[in-house]
Amino acid sequence: MKFGKIFYVVISAFLVITFVLVSYIFPPYDSSSDAPGGVKKIYYADAIPPALQKVVNMFNERYKGQIEVETINLPFDKFSTNERKELLARYLRSKSDRIDIFAVDQIWVPRFAKWSVPIDSFITDQQKNNILKNAIETCYYNDRLVAMPLYIDVALMYYRKDLLQDLPDYKNIANELNNSITWENFLSLSKRLKDKQNPFFIYQADDYEGLICIFDELLESEGKSFVDEGKIQLNTPEAKKALQLLVDLVNKYNVSPLAVSRFKEDPSYVYYLKNNGIFLRGWPGFYAGYERNPSYKNIFNKIERAPTPHFAGGKATSVFGGWNLMISRFSNKIPEAVKFINFITSEEAQKVLYEEGGLLPINDQVYEDSSFLREHKSIYFFKKLLKQGVHRPFLQSYTGISDIISYYLHEAIEKKISVSDALNSATEKINAGNFLLK
């Protein structure tokens, strides 16, 4: 009886907190809030860094007197991806027209499709052809185009060349790194640097989607996925090998500090920079987020990019990330929302997002602009890296599945449960339809 009361108290408190958050972030819609003179105001919910705000301002200036975009900021430093997902889902369930456009992690598209407007008829074939195939293929659900990409992400590794250059075979090491080093050789390299006090490898192992990304990437390196014929399959030799590596990086090889089990992206980046780490797993936004910080400006000229490692005998893979834009099916400003999406996916806007925010373009024309490539040589690296990208499984129930898998992966990394037990428990809960773990 006591447990039941505690359970209901906790759930009630959670619902109250969620209601307050949603009400605060998404205030009630007031049709009188449209700007005077017939200007249509559309509301756009996303994390709004300066580069994205600049593009919004460009749009507002271009359509001055006609359309005005007002942003609803859900910054990553205040809301994890999981928290953003739940806030958006809870608000959209209310069927309010307060949000017109919202951003989703590309892997959420199947879940949010029921709240979005199919936009096939609004987007021309030419516009679709201008979008990277790897990006636009994440925007379909049941053969309908329900989203458009905002930017694409692809996992990579950073390394401090100044901390490796003392090795006599540095040039060979750099060449191997730049072509995706094997995990086996990567671990051998760590032994050669054991006298250094610097953390060797920083990755993100908190209980969240980022942990799923590296786990799935390891599986894909072995030619496997954790979904087989529509069912979750974690009781495989490949899955055990992948999770065992993540556990051993911390607990056996001691190449990653236990602190990684508390890291999402930004905390891991700060730890890497402050502690002069040697290798860092991350995303393209690392540079844009920290390169201009005065505290770290002397470090970035010593940092190089490389593909993530792969298992010997496997293939080099980099998991895709990225965010897509969807139009709420409850919006009464659909034509205006379409105009904004067309603008933000244009070559012009995509160049700004990359130059000022480090967000990888989804417009293929950017990658074909020779003058732009000459000014931004890093595009060549990403253009090559995108070719080895792999997607996480696209499932309508993916977000619930991901929550369960990340929980058990995290428990294993912290040595609270064995690798086998973690994978068995996750498989059992998911295939039993138990998505209420968190």
DSSP string, 265-304: HHHHHHHHHHTT-SEEEE-THHHHHHTT-TTTTTTGGGEE
Q: Give whole-number Cα distances, 221 to 37, 81, 154, 156, 184, in Å.
A: 57, 25, 15, 14, 13
266 by Cβ neighbours in 10 Å (0-12 / 13-18 / 19+) ranks as: middle
Residue 295: per-residue pLDDT:
87
Domains of the chain by start residue, with CATH: 26-153+321-390 (3.40.190.10), 154-320+396-431 (3.40.190.10)
Q: What is the pLDDT of residue 5?
A: 41
| 3-class secondary structure, 147 | coil
3 state SS of 98? coil
Phi-psi region of 68 (alpha: psi -120 to 50; beta: other; left: phi over 0): beta
* CA distances for 359 relative to 17, 154, 401, angstroms: 33, 10, 28
CA-to-CA separations, 170 to 30, 99, 161, 174, 325, in angstroms, rounded: 63, 53, 9, 6, 43
d(CA 206, CA 197): 24
Q: What span, in angstroms and rounded, lies between the C-alpha atoms of 397 and 86?
A: 14
Q: Residue 365 carries which side chain, given as an amino acid letter?
A: Q
Asked if residue 376 lies in contact with residue 354, where contact means CB atoms within 8 angstroms, the answer is yes
Count of positions (residues) in the chain:
438
- One digit per residue, pLDDT tens: the chain, 438 residues? 443 444 333 333 343 344 444 444 555 545 445 655 689 999 999 999 999 999 999 999 999 999 999 999 998 878 877 788 889 999 999 998 889 999 999 999 999 999 999 999 999 999 999 999 999 999 999 999 999 999 999 999 999 999 999 999 999 999 999 999 999 999 999 999 987 789 999 999 999 999 999 999 999 999 998 887 777 889 899 999 999 999 999 999 999 999 999 999 999 999 999 999 999 999 999 988 888 888 898 899 999 999 999 999 999 999 999 999 999 999 999 999 999 999 999 999 999 999 999 999 999 999 999 999 999 999 999 999 999 999 999 888 888 899 999 999 999 999 999 999 999 999 999 988 765 544
Provide, for the chain, the percentages of residues in helix, strand and coil under a 3-state DSSP scheme, each rounded to the nearest 5: 50, 15, 35
In this prediction the pTM is 0.88
Partners of 319 in the β-ladder:
390
Helices (H), 94-200: 109-112, 125-129, 133-136, 170-178, 183-192
